[in-house]
Amino acid sequence: MRARVYVSLKKSVLDPQGKTIHHSLENIGFQQITEVRQGKFFEIDFAPELTREEVRAEVEKIAKDVLTNPVIEEFSYRIE
Amino acid sequence: MKFGVLMFPGSNCEHDAYHAIRKVLRQPAEFIWHQSTDLRDCQAIIVPGGFSYGDYLRTGAIARFSPVMGAVRRFADRGGLVLGICNGFQILLESGLLPGAMLRNRGLKYVCRQVSIRVENARIPFTGLAREGDVWNIPIGHMEGNYTLDADAFRWLERNRQVVFRYCNPDGEITAEANPNGSVANVAGICNPRGNVLGMMPHPERASEPLLGSEDGVRLFQSMIQSRSQA
């Protein structure tokens, strides 16, 4: 089973990289964008014998303890 | 006083720190590898600057899981002196030994230059030989020094006198222009509530000899040594 984890800065935290990308996009003609946030993406493959619930528990723990710094970041994930 | 200087894969300021302690301060020092859990009777631990583990994932995020950091945490819990410089500061934040987190610099650029910092708390073992309001001339060199913490937690930090250094202009005034990275309230260094763990972005080891343009960093190391000779 594969988990896809998305990490991004919390809404309350200013994202200077996202802002810079947004600015550049406007400069080359993409005027309809209201905001850009930059983040990180992880693909994690689990051993096939694990159940979906077991994978879910593992992913939550990995995302909380390692992939994010909870002071500034949040995460979401999908399991497929 | 014996200093231990940690070494992670990707550390690059450990020899500078070692040199400052051995050759300038004339104190014993020893390198401690990240796989070690033995701090070898050191009375102070320096977590040096650099790019531990290539700064992969987040600065300091992987180093936090090194075996040596468990030993450093126990050492700090017993009141041992721990000084994190630059990437070392980032590692202490990720380890939870200090509160808050680092964001990319406001200007998205690596900033490498001499800055002025003001001593805000001279009652901890790292600043005992300074006076509050003293201005030190010390270099910085980092990409992620934009210290952040939510507003309530930051008020608590200030009330607790945990802000030890702030970026200032050469006259000691805390101004927006003197802030090189966007750090909240110009914070350049903070300590834990007990005052035995300090994290700072400026590099005192790079300001420890006349040849380097400043000796202000020596006062920090001397303060550490004096704090333990009185104890």
Low-confidence ranges of chain A (pLDDT < 50): none
Domains of chain B with bracketed CATH: 3-230 (3.40.50.880)
Sheet of A2-9, strand order: A39-45, A2-9, A73-79
Q: Best interface-test mutation with A: which of B57, B102, B111 has the largest number of A CBs within 10 A?
A: B57
How buried is residue B56: exposed, middle or buried, by Cβ count under 10 Å (0-12/13-18/19+)? exposed
Low-confidence ranges of chain B (pLDDT < 50): none
Return the residue of B nearest to A7 by Cα.
Answer: B57
CB B58 to CB A12 under 8 A? no
The tens digit of pLDDT for each residue in B154-203 reads 999 999 999 999 999 999 999 999 999 999 999 999 999 999 999 999 99
pLDDT attached to residue A16: 85
Residue positions of B annotated with a catalytic role: 86, 203, 205
Helix (H) or strand (E) holding B157: helix B151-159
The packing angle between helices B67-77 and B87-95, to 10°, is 80
Q: Quick check: A24 contacting B, CB < 8 Å?
A: no
Q: Which domain holds residue A11?
A: 2-79
| DSSP character at residue A25 | H
- Neighboring chain A residues of B148 at a CB cutoff of 8 Å: 13, 71-72
Q: Could you say which of B94, B103, B108 has the minimum Cβ distance to residue A20? A: B108
Q: Residue A10 is part of a domain; what is its CATH number?
A: 3.30.1280.10
CB A17 to CB B106 under 8 A? no
CA B82-B46-B201 angle, to 5 degrees, is 90
| DSSP character at residue B172 | S
Q: How far apart are CA B78 and CA B72, in angstroms?
A: 10
Q: Quick check: A41 contacting B, CB < 8 Å?
A: no
Nearest to B147 by CA among B194, B114, B173, B180: B180
- Neighboring chain B residues of A13 at a CB cutoff of 8 Å: 103, 148
User: Which CA distances in Å does B126 have to B23, B64, B195, B228?
Assistant: 19, 23, 8, 11
Q: How far apart are CA B93 and CA B104, in angstroms?
A: 15
pLDDT attached to residue B231: 55
Pairing of strands B3-7, B197-200: unpaired
pLDDT attached to residue A14: 87
Question: Which residues, 6+ apart, have CB-to-CB distance to A67 below 8 Å?
Answer: A5, A7, A40, A42, A75, B57
- Neighboring chain A residues of B65 at a CB cutoff of 8 Å: 66
Alpha-carbon torsion (B173, B176, B177, B179), positive or negative:
positive
- The 3-class secondary structure across B59-109, one letter per residue, is CCCCHHHCHHHHHHHHHHHCCCEEEEECHHHHHHHHHCCCCCEEECCCCCC
User: Which CA distances in Å does B214 have to A79, B22, B178?
Assistant: 55, 18, 18
Q: Quick check: B150 contacting A, CB < 8 Å?
A: yes
Q: How far apart are CA B89 and CA B105, in angstroms?
A: 15
Q: Quick check: B149 contacting A, CB < 8 Å?
A: yes
Number of domains chain A contains: 1
CB A66 to CB B61 under 8 A? yes
Helix (H) or strand (E) holding B136: strand B135-142
CB A71 to CB B149 under 8 A? yes
